[in-house]
Structure 1
Amino acid sequence: MKSNPNITRVFDLLPNCVLKVNKEDTFANKVNGAWRKYSATEVIETVNKVSVGLLKLGIKKDDKIALISNNRPEWNFVELGVQQIGAVLVPMYPTITIEDYRYIFTDAEVKLIFVSDRALLDKVLEATSVLEGIEGIYTFDNFKGAKHWTEITKLAEGEDFAQIEPFKAAVQPDDLLTLIYTSGTTGKPKGVMLTHDNIISNIDGLVIGKHLELNENDKALSFLPLCHIYERTDVYVYMYYGVSVYYAESMDTIADNIKDVKPQVFATVPRLLEKVYDKIVAKGYELTGIKKQLFFWALNLGLQYDPMKNMGWWYDTQLKIARKLIFSKWKEALGGNIKIIASGSAALQARLSRVFWAAEIPIAEGYGLTETSPVVSSSILADFRVGCVGTVLPNIQVKIAEDGEICVKGPSVMKGYYKKPEATAEAIDADGWFHTGDIGEFSEGRFLKITDRKKEIFKTSGGKYVAPQVIENKLKESVLIEQAIVVGEGQKFPSALVVPEFNALKEWCTRHGIDCADSMQMIKNEKVREKLDDEVKSLMKNIAQYEQVKKIELLPKLFTIDSGELTPTLKLKRKIIHNNYKDLIEGMYN
Structure 2
Amino acid sequence: MSATTAVTYDMTAIDDRAPNVGRQFFDRVRATPNREAYRYPKGDSWESQTWQETGDHVTKLAAGLVALGIEPEQRVGIAAGTRFEWILADLAIMSAGGATTTVYPSTMADDVGYILADSECRVVFAEDDSQIAKLLERKSELPHLAKVITFDGATDGDWVIGMADLEKLGDELLAGNPHVVEERIDATRPDSLATLIYTSGTTGRPKGVRLQHKSWTYEGAAIQAQGILDETDLQFLWLPMAHSFGKVLLSTQLACGFATAVDGRVDKIIDNLAVVRPTFMGAAPRIFEKAHGRIVTMQASEGGLKEKIFNQAFKVGLQVDRLEREGKPVPFLLAKQRALFDKLVFSKIRDRFGGRVRFFISGAAALNQEIAEWFHAAGIVILEGYGMTESSAGSVVNHPDDYRFGSVGLIFPGSELKIAEDGEILIKGPGVMEGYHNLPELTAEALTEDGWLHTGDIGDVDAQGFLRITDRKKDLFKTSGGKYIAPSAIESQFKAICPYGSQFLVHGAERNFVVALITLDPDAMEGWAAENGMAGKSYAELVASQQVKDMVAGYVETLNARLNRWETIKKWILLDHDLTVESGELTPSLKVKRKVVEDNYKSEINGLYR
* TM-score category, normalised to shorter length: over 0.9
Comparing 9-18 with 25-34, greater Cα deviation is found at: 9-18
CA deviation vs aligned residue, 1:555-582 (integer Å, no higher than 9, x gap): 2211111111111211111121112111
The residue aligned with 1:3 is: 13
Partners of 1:515 and 1:147 in 2: CA distance: 48
Q: Does 1:151 align with 2:151?
A: no
Partners of 2:115 and 2:36 in 1: CA distance: 34
How far is 1:543 from its partner?
Answer: 1.6
Partners of 2:558 and 2:17 in 1: CA distance: 57
Question: What is the total number of aligned residue pairs between the two structures?
Answer: 588
Name the structure, 1 or 2, with higher relative contact order (CA <8 Å, separation 6+): 2
The alignment partner of 1:446 has SS state of coil
Counterparts of 1:192-231 in structure 2, within 5 Å, are 192-210=209-227, 212=228, 214-231=229-246
Q: Does 1:353 align with 2:372?
A: yes
Q: Does 1:566 align with 2:586?
A: yes
Q: Does 1:482 align with 2:482?
A: no
The residue aligned with 1:94 is: 105
Which consecutive aligned stretches of 4+ in structure 1 deviate over 6 angstroms post-superposition? none
Structure 1, unmatched stretches of 5+, are none
Q: Does 1:271 align with 2:290?
A: no
The residue aligned with 1:34 is: 45
Counterparts of 1:542-561 in structure 2, within 5 Å, are 542-561=562-581
Partners of 2:22 and 2:566 in 1: CA distance: 53
Question: Residue 224 of structure 2 contacts residue 256 of structure 2 at CA under 8 Å; is this kept in 1?
Answer: no
The residue aligned with 1:50 is: 61
48 and 573 in structure 1: CA distance in 2 versus 1, 3 angstrom threshold: same
Partners of 1:193 and 1:53 in 2: CA distance: 24
Partners of 1:249 and 1:514 in 2: CA distance: 33
The residue aligned with 1:441 is: 460
Counterparts of 1:257-336 in structure 2, within 5 Å, are 257-304=272-319, 305-306=321-322, 308-310=325-327, 312-313=330-331, 314-336=333-355
Partners of 1:66 and 1:501 in 2: CA distance: 34
The alignment partner of 1:101 has SS state of helix
Partners of 2:80 and 2:248 in 1: CA distance: 17
Specify the code of the residue in structure 1 equivalent to 2:372. S
Partners of 2:518 and 2:337 in 1: CA distance: 36
CA deviation vs aligned residue, 1:41-62 (integer Å, no higher than 9, x gap): 1111111111211122221112
How far is 1:356 from its partner?
Answer: 1.3
How far is 1:220 from its partner?
Answer: 1.0
Comparing 323-332 with 81-90, greater Cα deviation is found at: 81-90
The residue aligned with 2:432 is: 413
Specify the code of the residue in structure 2 equivalent to 1:391. L
CA deviation vs aligned residue, 1:100-140 (integer Å, no higher than 9, x gap): 11111111111101111111111222122443121101101
CA deviation vs aligned residue, 1:425-446 (integer Å, no higher than 9, x gap): 0001223211000111113441
CA deviation vs aligned residue, 1:319-369 (integer Å, no higher than 9, x gap): 222211001011111111111211100111111111211212111100000
Partners of 1:37 and 1:507 in 2: CA distance: 37
CA deviation vs aligned residue, 1:477-509 (integer Å, no higher than 9, x gap): 221322110011111111101112455556556
Question: Residue 294 of structure 2 contacts residue 499 of structure 2 at CA under 8 Å; is this kept in 1?
Answer: no
| Aligned counterpart for 1:376 among listed residues 375, 395, 401 | 395
Partners of 2:381 and 2:90 in 1: CA distance: 31
The alignment partner of 1:456 has SS state of coil
506 and 122 in structure 1: CA distance in 2 versus 1, 3 angstrom threshold: closer
When the two structures are superposed, what TM-score results if normalisation uses the length of structure 1? Answer: 0.95
Specify the code of the residue in structure 2 equivalent to 1:153. E
CA deviation vs aligned residue, 1:152-181 (integer Å, no higher than 9, x gap): 110122524323222211111111111111
The residue aligned with 1:577 is: 597
Question: Residue 426 of structure 2 contacts residue 454 of structure 2 at CA under 8 Å; is this kept in 1?
Answer: yes
Specify the code of the residue in structure 1 equivalent to 2:29. V
Question: Residue 17 of structure 2 contacts residue 218 of structure 2 at CA under 8 Å; is this kept in 1?
Answer: no
Q: Does 1:110 align with 2:130?
A: no
The residue aligned with 1:135 is: 146
261 and 511 in structure 1: CA distance in 2 versus 1, 3 angstrom threshold: closer
63 and 501 in structure 1: CA distance in 2 versus 1, 3 angstrom threshold: closer
Partners of 2:453 and 2:149 in 1: CA distance: 37
Comparing 254-263 with 149-158, greater Cα deviation is found at: 149-158
Q: Does 1:71 align with 2:91?
A: no
Specify the code of the residue in structure 1 equivalent to 2:183. P
Partners of 1:398 and 1:24 in 2: CA distance: 37
| Aligned counterpart for 2:181 among listed residues 164, 173, 198 | 164
How far is 1:250 from its partner?
Answer: 1.2
The residue aligned with 1:523 is: 543
Question: Residue 302 of structure 1 contacts residue 359 of structure 1 at CA under 8 Å; is this kept in 2?
Answer: yes
Comparing 171-180 with 307-316, greater Cα deviation is found at: 307-316
Q: Does 1:181 align with 2:198?
A: yes
Question: Residue 379 of structure 1 contacts residue 389 of structure 1 at CA under 8 Å; is this kept in 2?
Answer: yes
494 and 167 in structure 1: CA distance in 2 versus 1, 3 angstrom threshold: same
290 and 106 in structure 1: CA distance in 2 versus 1, 3 angstrom threshold: same
Specify the code of the residue in structure 1 equivalent to 2:143. E
How far is 1:419 from its partner?
Answer: 1.1
Partners of 1:509 and 1:130 in 2: CA distance: 48
Question: Residue 48 of structure 1 contacts residue 161 of structure 1 at CA under 8 Å; is this kept in 2?
Answer: no
Question: Residue 116 of structure 1 contacts residue 141 of structure 1 at CA under 8 Å; is this kept in 2?
Answer: yes
Comparing 509-518 with 472-481, greater Cα deviation is found at: 509-518
Comparing 329-338 with 312-321, greater Cα deviation is found at: 312-321
Q: Does 1:339 align with 2:358?
A: yes
Partners of 2:208 and 2:484 in 1: CA distance: 32
144 and 113 in structure 1: CA distance in 2 versus 1, 3 angstrom threshold: closer
503 and 48 in structure 1: CA distance in 2 versus 1, 3 angstrom threshold: closer
The alignment partner of 1:342 has SS state of strand
CA deviation vs aligned residue, 1:8-55 (integer Å, no higher than 9, x gap): 211222232233122353112111222221121111111111121112
Question: Residue 525 of structure 2 contacts residue 539 of structure 2 at CA under 8 Å; is this kept in 1?
Answer: no
358 and 19 in structure 1: CA distance in 2 versus 1, 3 angstrom threshold: farther
Structure 2, unmatched stretches of 5+, are 1-10
Please provide the CA RMSD for this pair: 1.9
CA deviation vs aligned residue, 1:61-103 (integer Å, no higher than 9, x gap): 1211011112222222222222123211101111111111111
Comparing 511-520 with 161-170, greater Cα deviation is found at: 511-520
The residue aligned with 2:486 is: 467
How far is 1:519 from its partner?
Answer: 2.8
Counterparts of 1:499-510 in structure 2, within 5 Å, are 499-502=519-522, 504-505=524-525
The alignment partner of 2:36 has SS state of coil
CA deviation vs aligned residue, 1:252-276 (integer Å, no higher than 9, x gap): 1111211111111111010011111
